[in-house]
Amino acid sequence: MSDDSTPSADDGESFGVEPGTYRHFKGARYEVIGVGRHSETEEPYVFYRTTTTPPTSWVRPLTMFVEPVSRDGYEGPRFARVDDDAD
């Protein structure tokens, strides 16, 4: 098992996934809480929640969170960081 205090190449920060507000390619906004690892596989996952009330929590593999999407005429990131103050 790895030391939790030692950053690795697949930690969220090295992929540009830091806590904050992100827009999903379908338009919904989410608050990223952070990146953690699966206890058995050590695969990194992004923990996030809706910005609606009440919030709903979600978890997604980091690789899926950062991968580009090509669907229904859209080509771009699945999630894009937005200013926390933006409407």
pLDDT in tens, 4-20: 544 454 455 666 699 99
Residues 32 and 11: their CA atoms lie apart, in Å, by: 14
Residue type, 4: D
Burial (CB count <10 Å: 0-12, 13-18, 19+), residue 53: exposed
Cross-strand pairs, 52: none
pLDDT at 12: 59
pLDDT at 15: 60
Task: Please name which of 15, 33, 34 lies closest in space to residue 78, comparing C-alpha atoms.
Answer: 15
pLDDT at 25: 97
pLDDT at 1: 45
pLDDT at 83: 86
pLDDT at 14: 61
Domains of the chain as residue ranges with CATH: 15-82 (2.30.30.320)
User: What is the value of pTM for the model shown?
Assistant: 0.78
Residue numbers in the chain where pLDDT is lower than 50: 1-3, 5-7, 9-10
